[in-house]
Amino acid sequence: MYILGISAWYHDSAAALIKDGVVIAAAQEERFTRIKHDPGFPTHAVQYCLSAAKIELSDLTAVVFYEKPKRKFNRIWETFKAFAPIGHQGFFEAIPLWLSDKMHQKRNIRAALTAATGQRTAWTGDILFSEHHLSHAASAFYPSPFAEAAVLTLDGVGEWATTSIAHGHGKHLEIIKELHFPHSLGLFYAAFTSYLGFKVNSGEYKVMGLAPYGTPRFAERIMDRLIHVHEDGSFQLNMDYFDFCTGHNMTNQAFADLFEGPPRTPETELSQRDMDIAASIQNVTEQVVCQLGRHVAASLDTPNLTLAGGVALNCVANGILLRTGIFKEIWIQPAAGDAGGALGAALAAYHLYFDQERPAVTGMDGMSGAYLGPSFDDHDIQRVLESLGAVWTHHTEPEMLEKAAHMLAGGQAIGWMQGRMEFGPRALGGRSILADPRSSSMQKQLNLKVKFRESFRPFAPSVLEEDVSKWFEIDRDSPYMLLVANVKDAHRRAMTVEEEALFGIEKLNIPRSTIPSVTHVDYSARIQTVHPETNPRYHALISCFRDLTGCPILVNTSFNVRGEPIVCTPEDAFHCLMGTDLDGLVIGNFVLEKSAQDPRLLSDYRDRYALD
């Protein structure tokens, strides 16, 4: 039985395909269109999923959309009514679009599927609709390694739900409690993201990364004035400070007055106040997540917790929740945001609508390491490189690994494209930029010369799973880079009195450990454990690097530049090599060194990325 799940028409659209309950393909549309967070119908992702399984549209038992549009429309309508006449402009913009288009999603999906697959006649198969939070919960529970678990979903908003608690056992999954819009931890965090001058639905990572540079001096003010948290972890926002129900802005003047000034203008210099606000909202979010966790543990007699929804990508909060010991085991869906809703919708339909049993889990979980996207063999890669005028050397796999490890140990930053592309927002060694974590200058170099992003943003360590507890204060796997833990004391560098006295961004260039490029200013790191079962080639590369240097860790950041999605194809990878200050590219068994490329091509690509 093949079931295709789809998420679309908000942000991060995606498609996912399951066969008899097993996830076999999944991808975000942005990776194909090169439009970051592409919200459109996932035409290319659908085409990829069907081709990966070598099936036609007619082979599908059903297509499942990740939410219920009519219920979502009801929430929008009721919200406008509740706040009228405030927000009338937004009403007149939104309602015609819903009435003319979004209320006819079944028709739209059917037409888009027919067009995507080149059918001459309309596809007439079953189209089902899951609920938004059920899709998230299904994406968290069914691929998890647990026979039974509590499920906590935290995001902006679906139809009405913003927070939900579910219980999963066997093939069964039941949502037992919900918190409804406008009281939303995701929108709460997004409001601060917007106020700090970052984009909503993409800049939340920046707020989390900025937080350690500040002190949470506004946390008490936030708890007193903006959010009331109950003993069971449920909460209410004080809507006197927020405009997201009715306006185009997330916050209002009262919010600005409370935080001592207007919102930060994007791309301007960050102030100490900005850093303190980031630290404060992160602190409050951690408190709420832990309070919810305590309630879930008290309500459901299970030692296991699974997480999904956009807030579940807050790896700092996840790490703190894990360290409380409230749950023995925690598993987080790697595509926790709306893209993962496509996968959850398909799984929910298979187990709940079609009443099918869960397949046995082989390996760590049911996600295959999240390596669910397209791959390219050496024949495909060579054809592309020849067409682009690239210069390369071809090697056996052991030779390629040895060459790449020496490049990294020599201080070079390389693009690494191997195997299937990752599903979700994290690069996990399929589409990554790699470097030596022992370098004290690599973080700044990668941020400014390769990623073209803010210098304060930290990078993650990819560490051999067998060595993780020797280097970090964590005793379990973190394969999806969704848990934060501190560097162990043995690898830390003691700060001088003068260094300890530094504030804010002044902390940035002070090495804090023997692996400074992956150690944040608070000694933390967003860890990815690398396993030979799910990514043998990446594990082998880090092993080679360890043999050369004694360090079983690499810097790992997503293979893209600011404003663009992670690379998907060999063409994308070569473009990124040539348009940035990367030193090399290792793709399949091919090694490309920047210094060997045609200088005329280099000039063309540098113009593309506006480096000069």
- Tell me: do 285 and 403 sit in the same domain: no
Asked if 57 and 90 touch (Cβ cutoff 8 Å), the reply is no
Cβ atoms of 7 and 32 within 8 Å: the answer is no
Number of compact structural domains in the chain: 3
* Same structural domain, 328 and 349: no
Is 165 contained in some domain? no
The Cβ of residue 305 has, within 10 Å, a number of other Cβ atoms equal to 25
Under DSSP, the state recorded for 242 is B
CATH number for the domain spanning 22: value is: 3.30.420.40
pLDDT attached to residue 458? 80
Q: Domain ends where: 353, 386, 403?
A: 353
Tell me how far apart the alpha carbons of residues 124 and 534 are, in angstroms, rounded to a whole number.
37
Within a 13 Å sphere around the CA of 120, how many CA atoms are in the beta-carbon half?
0
Which residues on adjacent β-strands are paired with residue 173?
168
CATH number at residue 443: 3.90.870.20
> What pLDDT score does 84 carry?
59
Angle between helices 599-608 and 570-579 (to 10 degrees): 90
Amino acid, single-letter form, for residue 610? A
What is the torsional sign of CA 198, 204, 208, 209? Answer: negative
| Domain shared by 464 and 600, yes or no | yes
Tokens of 247: 């306006």
Burial class (CB in 10 A: 0-12, 13-18, 19+), 398: exposed
Are 208 and 306 contained in the same domain? yes
pLDDT of residue 100: 56
Q: Of all helices (H) and strands (E), which one includes residue 179?
A: strand 172-180
Residue 71 domain-assigned (yes or no): yes
Among 353, 387, 413, where does a domain finish?
353
Q: In the block, which residue shows the tokens 């390769």?
A: 450
Q: What is the pLDDT of residue 612?
A: 39
Residue tagged 């030979």 (tokens): 532
Burial grade of 64 (CB within 10 A; 0-12, 13-18, 19 or more): buried
What DSSP element (H or E) covers 555?
strand 553-558
Cβ atoms within 10 Å, residue 475: 8
Is 137 inside a domain boundary?
no
Asked if the structure places residue 339 within a domain, the reply is no
Rounded Cα distance, 586 and 593, in Å: 9
The per-residue pLDDT for 75 is 82
pTM: 0.94
SS3 (DSSP) at 529: strand
310 and 399 belong to one structural domain: no
The C-alpha atoms of residue 197 and residue 278 are separated, in whole angstroms, by 11
416 and 542 in a common domain: yes
Rounded CA gap, 286 and 273, in Å? 20
Q: Based on the domain organization, do 316 and 393 belong to the same domain?
A: no
- Per-residue pLDDT at 105: 84
Token pair of 416, please?
Answer: 């690494």
Q: Are residues 348 and 311 in the same domain?
A: no
Low-confidence ranges of the chain (pLDDT < 50): 611-612
- Residue 126 host element (H or E): strand 126-129
Residues for the chain: how many in total? 612
CB 30 within 8 A of CB 23: no
Q: Which residues of 316-346 are buried (b: 16+ CB within 10 A; e: fewer)?
A: bbbbbbbeeebbeebbbbbbbbbbbbbbbbb
How far apart are alpha carbons 74 and 263 in whole angstroms?
32
Structure tokens at 302: 């299970």
Query: Residue 37 falls within a domain, yes or no?
Result: yes
318, 353, 388: which is the final residue of a domain?
353
Strands 414-417 and 431-435: antiparallel
Instruction: Please say whether the beta carbons of 372 and 27 come within 8 A.
Output: yes
Task: Please tell me whether residue 331 adopts helix, strand or coil conformation.
Answer: strand
User: What angle do helix axes 132-141 and 338-348 make, rounded to 10 degrees?
Assistant: 80
Q: Clarify whether residues 491 and 574 are in a common domain.
A: yes
* Same domain as 402, residue 544: yes
* DSSP, residue by residue, 384-435: HHHHHT---EE--HHHHHHHHHHHHHTT--EEEE-SSPBSSS---SSEEEEE
Residue 372 is assigned to a structural domain of this protein: no
Question: Are 253 and 286 in a shared domain?
Answer: yes
SS3 label, residue 195: helix
Same domain, 278 and 419: no
Q: Is residue 489 part of a domain?
A: yes
Per-residue pLDDT, 319: 96
**Does residue 65 lie in a domain region?**
yes
The alpha-helical segments, DSSP class H, found in 301-374 are 315-324, 338-348
Range of the domain at 385: 378-608
Can you say how many angstroms the Cα of residue 346 is from the centroid of all Cα atoms in its chain?
A: 20
